[in-house]
Amino acid sequence: MQSDARARSEIAHYCRLLWDRRLVTGTSGNVSVRLDDGDLLVTPSGVSLRELYENDIVRVDAHGTPRNPQQRPTSELPLHLAAYDVRADARCIIHTHPTFCVVWSKVGSVFPRDTVGARETLGPVAWTAYRDPGTHDLARLCAVEFSRGFDTVVMERHGVSTVATTLEHAFVLTDLAEEAARIAYFSRIANLTE
């Protein structure tokens, strides 16, 4: 049972954590929670996750229409809607632009996940080809991977999206993905085996 007020407070909390961990910069990144009645709470467009007030968070119906027409949800809303569509179990989505995930995304495949942290907690990760941000094309591409059971999707030259039943778990997946990509990057430039 997730109330509107409690979910808003959790979203604001995890947005600050994402900022503090440098998983987002500027006004990048967006977060959503699906409520029991099917409505979504999503972060607003053009606002830094650094200092997000609970009232800034936008409540939209299952089709993405804001309950308060004065508010503008994130431009990446199609990605959230498409992911929830294919994953009945998903209650939360976190989309970020973590540096090392974005760097490694240019390789054209997922970074190696040979460390204990990556193997035991992160789990399978999918890679998707570049599509323009905010488009239905991008949303569709990511949804295909979510529908295959991947909870973490790396998006070429863009970022990472995670789905989970709690914001805590979506945050941990994002944080671990960035750490695995960082380790892969330094291993590669140090010429260590992967």
Q: How far is the CB of 162 from Zn ion (least distance, A)?
A: 13
CA angle 30, 32, 33 (to 5 degrees): 165
How many residues of this chain bind Zn ion (CB under 5 A)?
1
Which positions from 155 to 184 touch Zn ion by CB under 5 A, shown as an x/- string? ----x-------------------------
Chain residue whose CB lies nearest Zn ion: 159
Q: How far is the CB of 123 from Zn ion (least distance, A)?
A: 22
| E strand map for 14-173 | 30-34, 40-42, 58-60, 92-96, 125-128, 152-155, 159-164
Residue 121 is given by DSSP the state: I
Q: How far is the CB of 132 from Zn ion (least distance, A)?
A: 11
Q: How far is the CB of 119 from Zn ion (least distance, A)?
A: 27
For residue 130, report the phi and psi dihedrals to the nearest 5 degrees: -60, 135
Which positions from 61 to 100 touch Zn ion by CB under 5 A, shown as an x/- string? ----------------------------------------
When the beta carbons of 6 and 22 are compared against Zn ion, the nearer one is 22
Edge-to-edge strands of the sheet including 92-96? 58-60, 40-42, 30-34, 92-96, 159-164, 152-155, 125-128
State the residues that interact with Zn ion by CB under 5 A.
159
